[in-house]
Amino acid sequence: MLPTSHQNSYQKFLDTLLALREEVELPNFRVTAISEKLQKVQQVFQEEVMLLESDDLPSDLAFRFTSVQTEIHRALRLLGTDMLFLRSSKQVTTSQQRLSVVRDRVNQIVGYCQVILTFEEK
């Protein structure tokens, strides 16, 4: 199981992700509101999650933790790119397609967070 500090940081990150997901799932979405929520998600990730060390974790847990954390970081960078495409889309159909990609990416990151929060030692 992860130390309390790790759990608290990831829970805070998950909470900001869920707020972003709520914004993305609104029928009358606003790109500016989604962008603001994404900035908050990125800020929490940089200030809380990226600072977490795996040194104090058992080796098998440390490997899995680092692996999933790397995937989250990669997916967040891709989400930033997806948002650039969403912001630049002019047509409604294109916006809907881009929003769908953003929604999928957010759900992917939420899944990664849930995996980390349920880690158990083997």
* Residue 11: pLDDT band with limits 50, 70, 90: very high
* Fold classification of 4-117 (topology level): Four Helix Bundle (Hemerythrin (Met), subunit A) (1.20.120)
Domain map (residue ranges) of the chain? 4-117
Query: Residue 44: its pLDDT value, please?
Result: 97
Tell me the pTM: 0.92
CA gap 25, 55 in Å, rounded: 37
Using alpha carbons only, what angle is made at residue 10 by residues 109 and 25, rounded to the nearest 5 degrees? Answer: 40
- Mean pLDDT over 7-19 rounds to 96
Cβ neighbours of residue 111 under 8 Å, at least 6 residues apart? none
> 64: left (phi > 0), else alpha (psi -120 to 50), else beta?
alpha
Task: Give residue-wise pLDDT tens across range 21-64.
Answer: 999 999 998 999 999 999 999 999 999 999 988 888 888 888 99
